[in-house]
Amino acid sequence: MNWLLVLAGGAVGAALRYLTDRAVQARHDSVFPWGTFTVNVVGSFVLGALTGVTSAQAQLLLATGLCGALTTWSTFSYETLKLYESGAKGYAAANVAASLAAGLAAVWLGTEAAGLLS
């Protein structure tokens, strides 16, 4: 039955990713993939915050399911490649650097927040 927890979390995470991406991207007049950047950073923070959760069921539902579907390595990779191929090499490099730095900072902040709350 664990797969049902992953499925439920994934369904919510995928919908949140789509809706967040569209809402964020609609507010930016730029080729930079702000929507994907946002979901990946938020997902990194949430995953970091979940480090304090000890329940195996909560980990499956929220960490594996929700965060797994909310964040997206493949879309990040594809959008970075498309930026590079279209000649926006600076944006491509910025996407890689900013995503890595912000994602690591977000997961660290999430773990710190979890530590403060426990």
Task: Tell me how long the chain is.
Answer: 118
Q: Which two tokens stand for residue 47?
A: 């995953």
Q: Are 7 and 15 in contact (CB under 8 A)?
A: no
Instruction: Give per-residue pLDDT as tens, 11-53.
Output: 999 999 999 999 999 999 999 999 999 999 999 999 999 987 7
Tell whether 68 is in a known binding site.
yes
Please count the structural domains in the chain: 1
Instruction: Give per-residue pLDDT as tens, 69-87.
Output: 999 999 999 999 999 999 9
Domain that holds residue 19: 2-117
Q: Are 17 and 39 in contact (CB under 8 A)?
A: yes
Tell whether 87 is in a known binding site.
no
Whole-prediction pTM? 0.93
Rounded distance, CA 75 to CA 37, Å? 10
